[in-house]
């Protein structure tokens, strides 16, 4: 056992003034650890050699002492679906209260959303099995969110994952610009999007390849030390739109509670705001994985307790598909990695979604999608010479692939004419600019950008993603041309596809119906459906339906604030505010005037 985990903690706002108490606790932890380690031996993995080994995954079940998420609870706050993920790999699962020893043959220990700190005895039981070769999965909430008081950055569990795996717990709360103390007081409104890190590893590789966002419900931040004395760690998921709020008491209204107990007037909570000398900013880690090079054990840590809970990160729609496919994929990859499986054996990706790496390469396109062949050599610039083009749309986006006869010009510019209202006449002209993700759309004399559209240029092709909301449910693309985006003295004419491009329709959802960073989000919250309308009243025509869990970006509100203008890649419309769960203060939204 590395003795550096028992040294005095560094001075911090959370640890200042309590060093002696912590040293006493850590000394008690050492005594308990030694006592448990010397207890009667149990059957180990080595003693089961000669028989097929079925991995054992132990879920810590402490509803009374730690208020953990329960693996035996199939309800919203339970983690029974995470157990299903492990069992899908052939593992055994069982729950163990920490008032008794963890089985010696445990391969993985899972601790989801402890809302109270681990006692020295409980921590020693976990560490005993880590030293015995067990891997660890920990998902832990920030301090004081939803009145939780889990382990802080100077606690015993923080020292273990820091010393053994290079992962540190930071005592901050990640605040999106539109969060308020009021919105974060409702757990179902305190969600935000996080994204896979670009550091290659088996756990997040699939998420990174397809740029799949994930959902968290109030998170803290983690530190990650790539190389330690005997550890290696890497980040898994991050946010760069939130900042790390350190004044947690003020943010969560703790001063109100203190004043009330003292019989003083209750003050108004100070609204959150970034403080350059106190708070964290930049790319903040929300998930990390580490390997101890001495014990050859693994740990995965997430700074949010709801990320794998049944009706949060692992929620399912009425048809059984995951509402948050990124979370479902992450859970499968984490389970496979902790069970030490070959990445090729990880679970199949959830069905019903489009998996496409937007990189300008058509290698991952479905070969059955029809292609329109174009005349080769009808432009002098081979990097702009279209060879073939094809398109499809799912329930959210239109995708295009344009292949060229030579290395695609990195300054290629794409123009399109579309019939968005299906009246037989092109009504929308789109210009896709090289080197940016901003697509400029022209409708007559009016121009605007489409923030959730994207264009990527590869070696011999151009890939495009356009939201159905902007282009309509197209069956064909009447006209498409490629030309240089560089101003030339004698520019060659654009190369245009000779025929209309058919659009294949796939009954699939997109992995990210919302791809607009930095906006307030809202989820449909209903047992039936939410009607999206042309205006903020039931008198307006219905334009679409939303089901429970559907995600939207919030554009604005009506003056009364009882209707919200929301949009995702598929649709834009007005929804009754009472049927939506926005993750911010809707009074701060702009008022949208309607005819």
Shared-domain flag, residues 163 and 269: yes
Q: What is the pLDDT of residue 19?
A: 43
Least Cα distance to 471 among 483, 461, 480, 462 occurs for: 480
pTM above 0.85? Answer: yes
The pLDDT tens digits of the residues spanning 303-346 come to: 999 999 999 999 998 889 999 999 999 999 999 999 999 999 99
CA separation, residue 435 to residues 197, 293, 411, 457 (Å): 22, 42, 7, 9
Grouping H, G, I as helix, E, B as strand and the rest as coil, residue 156 is: helix
More confident residue, 46 or 186: 186
**Summary mean pLDDT of the chain:** 85
Residue 26: other Cβ atoms inside 10 A: 21
Lowest mean pLDDT among 45-54, 116-125, 403-412, 572-581: 45-54
Residue 186 has pLDDT above 70, yes or no: yes
Parallel, antiparallel, or unpaired for β 221-224 and 167-170? antiparallel
Shared-domain flag, residues 340 and 469: no
Residue 95 has pLDDT above 70, yes or no: yes
Q: What is the pLDDT of residue 65?
A: 86
CB distance 286 to 125 below 8 Å: no
CB distance 428 to 418 below 8 Å: yes
Confidence of residue 25 (pLDDT cuts 50, 70, 90): very low
Q: What is the pLDDT of residue 373?
A: 93
Q: What is the pLDDT of residue 250?
A: 57
Task: Give the side-chain half-sphere CA count within 13 A for 77.
Answer: 11
Residue 15 has pLDDT above 50, yes or no: no
CB distance 136 to 290 below 8 Å: no
CA separation, residue 245 to residues 10, 219, 249, 281 (Å): 20, 11, 10, 9
Residue 129 has pLDDT above 90, yes or no: yes
CATH assignment at residue 392: 2.60.40.10
DSSP 119: P
The pLDDT tens digits of the residues spanning 352-387 come to: 999 999 999 999 999 999 999 998 888 777 888 999
Lowest mean pLDDT among 77-86, 181-190, 248-257: 248-257
The answer to whether residue 16 sits within a structural domain is: no
Q: What is the pLDDT of residue 257?
A: 40
Q: What is the pLDDT of residue 423?
A: 81
Backbone phi, then psi, for 468, in 5-degree steps?
-60, -30
The answer to whether residue 353 sits within a structural domain is: no
Shared-domain flag, residues 414 and 286: no
Q: What is the pLDDT of residue 4?
A: 33
Residue 105 has pLDDT above 60, yes or no: yes
Q: Best-predicted range by mean pLDDT among 62-71, 166-175, 483-492?
A: 166-175
CATH assignment at residue 576: 2.30.30.40
Shared-domain flag, residues 230 and 99: yes
Shared-domain flag, residues 226 and 326: yes
Q: What is the mean pLDDT of residues 113-135?
A: 94
Q: What is the mean pLDDT of residues 522-547?
A: 94
Which residue, 487, 510, 533, sits at the end of a domain?
Answer: 510
List b or e across 460-476, with b for residues whose CB sees 16 or more CB atoms inside 10 angstroms: bbbbbbbbbbbbbebee
The answer to whether residue 23 sits within a structural domain is: no
Least Cα distance to 589 among 520, 518, 516, 515 occurs for: 520
Shared-domain flag, residues 136 and 99: yes
List b or e across 92-130, with b for residues whose CB sees 16 or more CB atoms inside 10 angstroms: ebebbbbeeebbbbbbbbbbbbbbbbbbbbbbbbbbbbb
CB distance 554 to 518 below 8 Å: no
Grouping H, G, I as helix, E, B as strand and the rest as coil, residue 399 is: strand
Positive or negative, the CA dihedral 261, 263, 266, 272 is negative
Lowest mean pLDDT among 1-10, 16-25, 56-65, 323-332: 1-10
Shared-domain flag, residues 215 and 329: yes
More confident residue, 485 or 537: 537
The answer to whether residue 473 sits within a structural domain is: yes
Shared-domain flag, residues 207 and 76: yes
Lowest mean pLDDT among 226-230, 483-487, 551-555: 483-487
Q: What is the pLDDT of residue 435?
A: 61
Shared-domain flag, residues 215 and 314: yes
Confidence of residue 446 (pLDDT cuts 50, 70, 90): confident
CA dihedral of residues 62, 66, 72, 75 (deg, nearest 10)? 160
Which pair of structure tokens corresponds to residue 16? 């200042």
Which pair of structure tokens corresponds to residue 247? 């004044």
Which residue, 291, 318, 345, sits at the end of a domain?
Answer: 345
Cα 355 to Cα 425: distance, rounded to the nearest angstrom: 32
Which pair of structure tokens corresponds to residue 183? 């919105």
Shared-domain flag, residues 93 and 168: yes
Q: What is the pLDDT of residue 162?
A: 96
Least Cα distance to 353 among 208, 509, 505 occurs for: 509
Confidence of residue 440 (pLDDT cuts 50, 70, 90): confident
Q: What is the pLDDT of residue 71?
A: 93
Shared-domain flag, residues 366 and 334: no
Alpha helices per DSSP H over 149-244: 156-165, 181-184, 205-210
Q: What is the pLDDT of residue 290?
A: 97
Q: What is the pLDDT of residue 259?
A: 36
CB distance 338 to 108 below 8 Å: yes
Residue 158 has pLDDT above 70, yes or no: yes
Which residue, 316, 345, 374, sits at the end of a domain?
Answer: 345
Q: What is the mean pLDDT of residues 254-271?
A: 40
CB distance 285 to 238 below 8 Å: yes
Which helix (H) or strand (E) element contains residue 520? none
Q: What is the pLDDT of residue 22?
A: 44
The answer to whether residue 546 sits within a structural domain is: yes
More confident residue, 251 or 235: 235
Q: The sheet that has 572-576: what strands, in order across it?
A: 542-546, 530-533, 572-576, 563-567, 551-557, 521-524, 580-582
Least Cα distance to 306 among 323, 319, 284 occurs for: 323
Q: What is the pLDDT of residue 102?
A: 95
Q: What is the pLDDT of residue 491?
A: 72
CA dihedral of residues 155, 160, 162, 165 (deg, nearest 10)? -160
Which helix (H) or strand (E) element contains residue 173? strand 173-175
The answer to whether residue 366 sits within a structural domain is: yes
The structural domain count of the chain equals 3
Residue ranges making up the domain that contains 427? 362-510
Residue 31 has pLDDT above 60, yes or no: no
In terms of Cβ atoms closer than 10 Å to its own Cβ (0-12, 13-18, 19+), residue 490 is: exposed
The answer to whether residue 15 sits within a structural domain is: no
Confidence of residue 34 (pLDDT cuts 50, 70, 90): very low
The answer to whether residue 11 sits within a structural domain is: no
Parallel, antiparallel, or unpaired for β 297-302 and 284-292? antiparallel
Q: What is the pLDDT of residue 212?
A: 95
Shared-domain flag, residues 86 and 198: yes
Beta strands in 266-385 (DSSP E): 284-292, 297-302, 353-354, 372-373
Q: What is the pLDDT of residue 251?
A: 65
């Amino acid at each position: 056992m590395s003795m550096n985990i028992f040294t005095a903690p560094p001075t911090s706002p959370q640890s200042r003034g309590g060093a002696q108490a912590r040293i006493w606790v850590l000394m008690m932890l050492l005594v308990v650890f030694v006592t448990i380690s010397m207890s009667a031996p149990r059957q180990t993995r080595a003693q089961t050699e000669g028989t097929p080994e079925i991995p054992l995954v132990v879920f810590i079940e402490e509803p009374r002492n730690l208020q953990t998420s329960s693996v035996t609870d199939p309800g919203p706050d339970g983690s029974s679906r995470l157990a299903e993920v492990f069992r899908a790999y052939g593992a055994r699962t069982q729950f163990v209260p920490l008032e008794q020893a963890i089985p010696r043959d445990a391969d993985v220990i899972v601790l989801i959303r402890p809302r109270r700190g681990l006692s020295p005895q409980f921590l020693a039981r976990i560490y005993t099995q880590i030293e015995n070769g067990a891997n660890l999965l920990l998902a832990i909430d920030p301090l004081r969110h939803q009145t939780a008081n889990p382990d802080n950055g100077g606690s015993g569990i923080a020292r273990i994952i820091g010393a053994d795996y290079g992962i540190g717990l930071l005592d901050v709360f990640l605040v999106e610009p539109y969060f308020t103390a009021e919105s974060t007081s409702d757990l179902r409104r305190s969600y935000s999007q996080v994204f896979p890190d670009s550091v290659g590893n088996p756990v997040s590789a699939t998420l990174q390849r397809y740029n799949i966002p994930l959902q968290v419900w109030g998170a803290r931040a983690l530190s990650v030390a790539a190389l330690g004395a005997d550890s290696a760690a890497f980040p898994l998921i991050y946010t760069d739109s939130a900042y790390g709020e350190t004044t947690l008491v003020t943010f969560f209204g703790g001063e109100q509670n203190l004043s009330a107990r003292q019989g003083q007037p209750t003050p108004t909570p100070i609204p959150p705001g970034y403080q350059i000398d106190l708070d964290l900013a930049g790319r903040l880690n929300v998930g990390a994985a580490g390997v101890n090079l001495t014990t050859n054990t693994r740990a995965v840590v997430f700074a949010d307790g709801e990320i794998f809970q049944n009706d949060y990160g692992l929620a399912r729609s009425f048809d059984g598909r995951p509402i948050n496919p990124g979370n479902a994929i992450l859970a499968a990859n984490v389970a496979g990695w902790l069970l030490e499986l070959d990445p090729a054996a990880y679970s199949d990706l959830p069905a019903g979604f489009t998996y496409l790496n937007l990189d300008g390469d058509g290698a991952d396109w479905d070969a059955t999608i029809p292609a329109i062949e174009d005349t080769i050599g009808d432009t002098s610039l081979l990097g702009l010479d279209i060879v073939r083009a094809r398109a499809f749309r799912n329930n959210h986006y239109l995708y295009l692939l344009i292949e060229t006869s030579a290395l695609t010009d990195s300054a290629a510019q794409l123009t399109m004419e579309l019939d968005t209202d299906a009246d037989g006449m092109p009504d929308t002209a789109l210009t896709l600019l090289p080197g940016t993700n901003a697509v400029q759309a022209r409708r007559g004399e009016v121009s605007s950008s489409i923030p959730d559209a994207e264009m990527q240029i590869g070696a011999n092709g151009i890939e495009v993603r356009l939201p159905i909301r902007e282009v309509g449910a197209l069956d064909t693309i009447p006209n498409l041309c490629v030309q240089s985006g560089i101003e030339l003295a004698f520019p060659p004419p654009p190369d245009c596809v000779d025929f209309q491009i058919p659009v294949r329709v796939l009954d699939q959802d997109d992995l990210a119906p919302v791809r607009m960073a930095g906006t307030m989000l809202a989820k449909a919250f209903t047992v039936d459906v939410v009607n999206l309308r042309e205006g903020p009243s039931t008198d307006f025509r219905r334009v679409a339906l939303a089901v429970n869990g559907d995600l939207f970006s919030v554009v604005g509100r009506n003056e009364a604030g009882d209707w919200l203008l929301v949009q995702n890649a598929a649709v834009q419309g007005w929804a009754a505010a009472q049927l939506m769960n926005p993750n911010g203060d809707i009074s701060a939204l702009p008022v949208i005037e309607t005819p």
